[in-house]
Amino acid sequence: MYVISEGGVEIRVPSMSVSGKTKDVFFNPEMELNRDLTIAVLRAYKQEGMETYLDANAATGIRGTRAALDGWKVTLVDISPEAVELCKLNLSINNLSGEVHHNDVNIELRSKRYDVVDVDPFGSPISFLDSAFRGARKLLCVTATDTAPLCGAHLQAGIRRYSSVPKKTEYHAEIGIRNLLSSMARWGARYDIGINPIFCHSTRHYYRVYVEIDRRASKANEALEELGYIHHCSSCLYREVQLGLLSFPILSCPSCGGKKVITSGPIWLGKTHDKDFISKARSHVTEEMGMGSRVERIFSRVAEELEVPTHYDQHKLCRLWGLPAPSMEIFIGQIVDAGFEISRTHYGGTTFKTNATISEIYEIAND
């Protein structure tokens, strides 16, 4: 056993292999960023009167223990008996209280409800979504590490798991997040629940989404109205969005006339964050967070993102067009001077969102 300190608590973790995967109880030190972001979001949410938090895949119990330190009434659940023992130990060495249940969380959520349900499994969250929707009162936090199926890199696995068709593009991480949200909108709708994403991010090997839920059929209908398709030209990178559950693929690209137009969907085309909520969460970043500066950076980048459903990568565009890439500051200035909106994104240092079309960006870059 090792003892690690994170976010003001001490956690016993099993002896770690290099990858962070252990034989009996899973612990990944690289997820500290994910957990720090979670704690900031939970703090902002707690101010709105929320009390109960379910750590649905607790493993060492590090999430639940950190939430308990912040005053949440926590319940930690794991299907593994070794994990459950470790959760109890970790709460007790930190002098914190909480319920620890040895159970399949899908069974747990049949009979109980929690204000916040945090689904943070190893791999796909799909087998937990159904029960998470039934057992969450206000907020669902979901991690997905199966980025390849979600973003279109493993197309058939993505179709099987998420009942949609995600195609691989250069904005694949955004496709992945929006695809996950699309599944959640459809899963929630089965129970007359509408979703409202308040913060989502993609970080190297996983996606994380925070979704408010509203138990009204009208809200479920509203959420479904945010679904649609993205038509994308693989030759010139033109994109077009189309709302609605029926797809009307484009046969040739309206911009370059090429025939390589691919369609992804049904995908979430609505908002993926709430600026005001993020600014509240940001005010809860505190010193004991080991990843505090990265947390701040992600919050500020996501908050400034324009609400358009795809982004571009300036370096990839310049390579495609055989142009030297100017600095992002100069490039952004050029787009603004031409009268368009532009923002950077959290998806990468040279990524941006804009209301200019691909041919308008091309004209500006060639000016």
* Binding-site ranges for ligand SAH (CB under 6 A): 26-27, 31, 35, 57, 59-60, 62-63, 77-80, 83, 104-106, 120-122
Q: For residues 15 and 156, which CB has a smaller minimum distance to ligand SAH in the complex? A: 15
Q: How far is the CB of 295 from ligand SAH (least distance, A)?
A: 16
99-102 sheet: strands from edge to edge: 99-102, 73-78, 52-55, 114-119, 136-144, 206-214, 194-203
Q: For residues 161 and 344, which CB has a smaller minimum distance to ligand SAH in the complex? A: 161
Q: Which residue is nearest to ligand SAH (CB)?
A: 57
Q: For residues 104 and 304, which CB has a smaller minimum distance to ligand SAH in the complex? A: 104
If you search the block for the tokens 């300190």, which residue do you land on? Answer: 5
Q: For residues 90 and 196, which CB has a smaller minimum distance to ligand SAH in the complex? A: 90
Cβ atoms of 116 and 64 closer than 8 Å: no
Q: How far is the CB of 20 from ligand SAH (least distance, A)?
A: 9
CA distance 176 to 267: 9
Q: How far is the CB of 253 from ligand SAH (least distance, A)?
A: 43
Q: For residues 119 and 220, which CB has a smaller minimum distance to ligand SAH in the complex? A: 119
Cβ atoms of 185 and 163 closer than 8 Å: no
Q: How far is the CB of 134 from ligand SAH (least distance, A)?
A: 14
Could you count the other beta carbons within 10 Å of the beta carbon of residue 358? Answer: 19
CA distance 85 to 98: 13
Q: How far is the CB of 314 from ligand SAH (least distance, A)?
A: 34
261-268 sheet: strands from edge to edge: 239-243, 227-233, 261-268
Q: How far is the CB of 225 from ligand SAH (least distance, A)?
A: 32
Q: How far is the CB of 84 from ligand SAH (least distance, A)?
A: 9
Buried b (16+ CB within 10 A) or exposed e, 213-251: bbeeeebbebbbebbbbbbbbbebbbbbebeeeeeeebe
Whether omega before 81 lies within 30 degrees of 0, making that bond cis, reads no
Say if strands 206-214 and 52-55 run parallel, antiparallel, or are unpaired.
Answer: unpaired
Element (H, E) at 211: strand 206-214
SS3 253: coil
Q: For residues 62 and 233, which CB has a smaller minimum distance to ligand SAH in the complex? A: 62
Q: For residues 149 and 166, which CB has a smaller minimum distance to ligand SAH in the complex? A: 149
Q: How far is the CB of 107 from ligand SAH (least distance, A)?
A: 8
Q: How far is the CB of 50 from ligand SAH (least distance, A)?
A: 19
CA distance 125 to 318: 37
Q: For residues 101 and 284, which CB has a smaller minimum distance to ligand SAH in the complex? A: 101
Q: For residues 34 and 183, which CB has a smaller minimum distance to ligand SAH in the complex? A: 34
312-313 sheet: strands from edge to edge: 312-313, 351-354, 342-344
